[in-house]
Chain A
Amino acid sequence: MTVLEESMSEKTDNELVLLSLENQENFLYLVQRYEKKLLSYIIRISGVKYEDAQDVLQDAFVSMFLKLNSFDSRLKFSSWAYRIVHNQTITDFRKRKVRPVQYFEENDLVRLVDSMSSDDHFDKKLLQDEIKTILDKMDKKYREVLVLKFLEEKDYNEISDILKKPVGTVGTLVNRAKKKFLVIYEKQTQHSN
């Protein structure tokens, strides 16, 4: 790591936004800071292939750069970035009309059930395939909040800023999503028995 890279890595997101407005080269440090997180977020909510997700991410970062002056420092930069990526993913998904391939990696599924079961009575022994099927059957709006809450580990205020929904609504959505998850799971086990 060069001295410049080291000094940039110590800067806050807000400082990097101001520096990017002064010099576009500095935007690179913001991209590097968030690209991995945002790439997996795109895959988790859209189920597109890795290569397609990369294209969406590229478009999202260009759009982010264009809108850099609209960033309000009262908001967390990560929330703002997630919001733009979220919107870009939806736009792109509609345009391409691609069928989802796989939303989650196996590691994600374990984490998702672990986090959900920590504050609810989910069976941690759920099979990976079962979880995948359940998530595939869920509405997009419920899958999104589950991803943001339990995989991206965002709090309700951040989710509210990302999805542009009131905090109360986010809470309701998370609870409903958990219930739906359980209902689909129970139906599935009844069928298999």
Chain B
Amino acid sequence: MTEISDKILQTIKEQNIKPDSKFKFVLKSYLWAFFAFLMVVFGSLAVSVIIFYLKNEDWGLYRQAGFSQINFLLLSIPYFWVLLSLLFIFLAYYNFHHTKFGYRYRFSVIVLAYFVVSLVVGSGAYALGAGDKIEGLFFNNNLIFYGQIMEKRQEMWHRPEMGFVVGQIILVDMKKNEINIIDPRQEKWLVDVSNTLIPPFVKLEPSAKIRVIGEIFPDNKIKAEIIKPFFTEPPELCNGLLEDNEDREGEDEDENKIEENCELIHRPKLMMKENLQRMRIIN
């Protein structure tokens, strides 16, 4: 017995050191794997929201609004979700690296695998409606200053000089074919909707947020050509159902179903309270 081995054995005996249980190590290993998996799930959900944003952006209107292709692309990227997605990549890598043999894989391989998996799972989640539900949850509850972040992004569509105005309806007068809206800068606009293309899923009612595209006249008057929902289009499903519905008029049950599906995705609550006293409907 050498001097060192003697000392080691003596220490083990004297301090009554026992090997830690196998369960502890197995649990630790499974926990790392579980968290790595969880981060992939979260990352996929973040990707589903990114897909939701990109698919529902008005790609056909950017030239009309005076954006260059690159400028519009840069403005359309949902940076909050991209950053969140990157955070999940880092956390997934960190957790995976701590699994038993996770260190054997290169960072680039893990990240690439993560992208592929989250893109596939994220697309599936988007198809199942996860993207808009999560987005709506963040928007409506103003989670982590989400409302403020979104307000800034939505201002990209508020370009009166180009005939684009964003606002919340404060008054509807269908006798005169006019609506009054208030924009994010608290300016009021009188919108003429007498000769306007209004998609069936856009509801002209107080508190609804809309985008108006048309010709601007002095004193904040707009002759609207198109009215679009403030933030995004409803899911593609809505258009399909609406087309189907033309053949099935009078079927109450189906109409209710369509009503549910074609509701605006976001019902902004942030501005509702302060505008409440100014709202009235004239039929």
Docked complex: B78-104 residues within 8 A CB-CB of A: 100-101, 103-104
A83 to chain B, nearest CB (A): 10
Q: Are A62 and B12 in contact (CB under 8 A)?
A: yes
Which residue from A54, A58, A69 sits with its C-beta under 8 Å from B11? A58
The yes or no answer to A100 lying at the interface (CB within 8 A) is no
User: How long is the Cα–Cα vector from A59 to B3 in the complex, in angstroms?
Assistant: 14
A111 in the interface (beta carbon within 8 A): no
Is B8 in contact with A24, judged by CB distance below 8 angstroms? no
Give the complex CA separation of A40 and B193 in angstroms: 87
User: B16-24, B49-57, B130-138, B235-243: which one contacts chain A?
Assistant: B16-24
Query: Does the CB pair B11–A66 fall under 8 Å?
Result: no
- Chain B neighbourhood of A165, CB < 8 A: 103
CB distance from A71 to the nearest CB of B (A): 9
Please provide the chain B residues from 1 to 37 with a CB less than 8 Å away from any CB of chain A in the complex: 1-2, 4-5, 7-9, 11-13, 17, 19-22, 24-25
Cβ-neighbour of B1 out of A28, A62, A65, A70 (below 8 A): A28
Contact of A166 with B19 in the complex, beta carbons under 8 Å: no
B106 at the interface (CB under 8 A from A): yes
The distance from the CB of B114 to the nearest CB of chain A, in whole angstroms, is 16
Which of B13, B20, B104 is A167 in contact with, Cβ under 8 Å? B104
B105 CB within 8 Å of chain A:
yes
B98 to chain A, nearest CB (A): 9
Q: Within 8 Å CB of B7, what residues of A? A: 58
B19 CB contact (under 8 Å) in A69, A167, A169: A69
Q: Out of A32, A61, A169, which one reaches B106, CB within 8 Å?
A: A169
Interface residues of A in 45-93 (CB under 8 A from B): 54, 57-58, 61-62, 65-70, 72, 74
CB–CB A160/B20 < 8 A: no
Q: Among the listed A35, A39, A62, A72, which residue makes an inter-chain contact with B17, where contact means beta carbons less than 8 Å apart?
A: A62
A residues within 8 A CB of B109?
166
Cα–Cα distance between A31 and B10 once the two chains are bound (Å): 13
Q: Size of chain B's interface in residues, with CB distance under 8 A?
A: 24
Residues 24-44 of A at the B interface (beta carbon under 8 Å): 24-25, 27-28, 31-32, 35, 39
Q: Which single member of B8, B20, B104 contacts A70 (CB below 8 Å)?
A: B20
Are A66 and B19 also in contact (CB < 8 A) when A24-B12, A27-B9, A166-B104 are?
yes
- Most B CB contacts (10 A, CB to CB) among A68, A69, A169 go to A69
Q: Is the CB of B103 within 8 A of A69?
A: no
| Contact between B19 and A32, CB atoms less than 8 A apart | no
For B8, the chain A residues whose CB sits under 8 A away are: 27-28, 31, 58, 61-62, 65
Q: Whole-angstrom distance between the alpha carbons of A74 and B100 in the complex?
A: 11
- Contact A164 B1, CB 8 Å, known A24-B12, A69-B22: no
Q: List 10 A-B contacts (CB under 8 A).
A: A25-B9, A27-B8, A28-B1, A32-B5, A35-B4, A39-B4, A69-B20, A69-B21, A69-B22, A166-B103
Known: A57-B4, A166-B104; 12 extra A-B contacts, CB below 8 A, are: A24-B9, A24-B12, A24-B13, A31-B4, A31-B9, A32-B2, A58-B4, A62-B12, A65-B12, A69-B21, A166-B105, A166-B109
Binding site for B on A (CB under 8 A): 21, 24-25, 27-28, 31-32, 35, 39, 54, 57-58, 61-62, 65-70, 72, 74, 160, 164-169
The 9 closest A-B pairs by CB, nearest first: A70-B25, A164-B103, A68-B19, A69-B22, A31-B5, A166-B106, A61-B8, A69-B19, A32-B5
